[in-house]
Amino acid sequence: MKLSDLKVIITGGAQGMGAHFATRLLEAGASVAVGDVAEEAMASLPSGIHTRRLDVSDEADVASFVAWAHEAMGGLNALVNNAGIIRDGLLVKKDRNTGEVKKLSTEAWDAVIGVNLTGATMMVREVAAKMLEGDPTPGVIINISSISRHGNRGQSNYVSAKAALAANTVTWARELARYKIRVGAIAPGMIETPMTKGMNQKARDALVAAIPVGRIGDPEDIYAAVKFIVECEYFNARCVDVDGGLVMT
């Protein structure tokens, strides 16, 4: 597919990687619709991008947004499933001084699963259903997973969601192939975003030191993978790791 032929939804597109994808795809001639809960941040996106508030954890909101985006762009043939949150915490932790045992809260679990997995799944379902209306035309869905899907201390909820998203990339690719819809995934490593800028500096420095290429990633590095998946029509049902060689331990 040509980038200029895209009529694409980008979730979580108000800032960070999502905003970068939206800007670069618009520059390439694509029609772009961005959804995010951060309405004020979306106001800073370039003119020409369609924007509307979207809470991917709300099933009705997802369906309404997809219908709106389809109408606003005069069609729909692509999705970048980028929305995500973190609520990190160890599954259980014992205080060394008091002996008190603290547990990962159900609220933290539900919040991350609701956005990163259930919300992402509902987006794929609604976008694919909209693509199937009338005569199917080639389409592409890109899920943003993470290298944390292999397992990462303190991220039981995030790991579960991102691992499932990568696995379901294969599931959905197999189910949707008959309709000319490809499904791929990208697993970023440590990327410079508002989320990573807020990290503890010591932890950040330690992670950067473990990256073989010697630097933190940039949203443009991930956009290069987005571009590849869109343009390479033989790519399907796979997850591309873009992590500088970092291995989570």
What's the pLDDT tens digit per position in 142-170?
Answer: 999 999 999 999 999 999 999 999 999 99
User: Average per-residue pLDDT in the chain?
Assistant: 96
Q: Is residue 201 part of a domain?
A: yes
pTM of the model: 0.96
**Active site positions, annotated:** 158
Q: Is residue 141 part of a domain?
A: yes
Q: Is residue 249 part of a domain?
A: no
| Gyration radius from the chain CA atoms | 18
Tokens 């762009």 sit at which residue?
A: 73
Asked if the model's pLDDT at residue 249 lies above 80, the reply is: no
Q: Is residue 75 part of a domain?
A: yes
Residue pLDDT, tens place only, 42-67? 999 999 999 999 999 999 999 999 99
Q: Which domain holds residue 89?
A: 3-242
**Dihedral angle sign, alpha carbons of residues 223, 226, 227, 228:** positive
- In whole angstroms, give the CA distance from residue 140 to residue 229: 8
Q: Is residue 247 part of a domain?
A: no
- In whole angstroms, give the CA distance from residue 22 to residue 175: 27
Please report, for the domain that includes residue 67, its CATH number: 3.40.50.720
Q: How many domains does the chain have?
A: 1
Q: Is residue 248 part of a domain?
A: no
**77 near 140, Cβ under 8 Å?**
yes
Residue pLDDT, tens place only, 71-93? 999 999 999 999 999 999 999 99
